Amino acid sequence: MKKLSALILSLTMLTGCGAVKSSDDNKASVKEVETTVTETSEVQTETSQKADKEAVINAAKAYVSGLEDFSTITNYDSPEIKEVTELYDYHHITDDFLNDNNWYEVTFLTTDDALLGPISVYLDSNCTAFGLGLRE
């Protein structure tokens, strides 16, 4: 509410008091400010719901560092990351994850890609690794 008051005050100072002519004009101005504040809040909420990609990559790196195939990874410093909303065949490793269809797949290339394929780690927006892509 304090931000809204400050925003209204700032807008009044920028437009000048002479711009406000009637009660209907005031309602329109307040409505525009409320719309702007609402849109800003929605953007902030959407941003906060998505994990920081660097944090996701770091969580995936921490997970793969404990795998038996860790020594075969060739792009540990720069894995591919993409957002996914659907999961197909994967090896489920925990039930303790955010099941909101807002996941990340971090893919590490290996020296065994031709034979087995890459190592893919699935993480939720809280950076919890919950699955591994199937390899041959």
Q: pLDDT category, 20, cuts 50, 70, 90? A: very low
Q: Please give the pLDDT value at position 70.
A: 97
Same domain for 77 and 35, yes or no, is no
Rounded CA separation 125/50 (Å) = 6
Same domain for 80 and 57, yes or no, is yes
Q: pLDDT category, 65, cuts 50, 70, 90? A: very high
Rounded CA separation 60/73 (Å) = 13
Average pLDDT over residues 113-126: 96
Domain that holds residue 26: 2-49
Q: Please give the pLDDT value at position 25.
A: 54
In the chain, the number of structural domains is 2
Same domain for 62 and 6, yes or no, is no
Same domain for 61 and 126, yes or no, is yes
Q: Which two tokens stand for residue 60?
A: 């995936």
Same domain for 65 and 43, yes or no, is no
Same domain for 125 and 78, yes or no, is yes
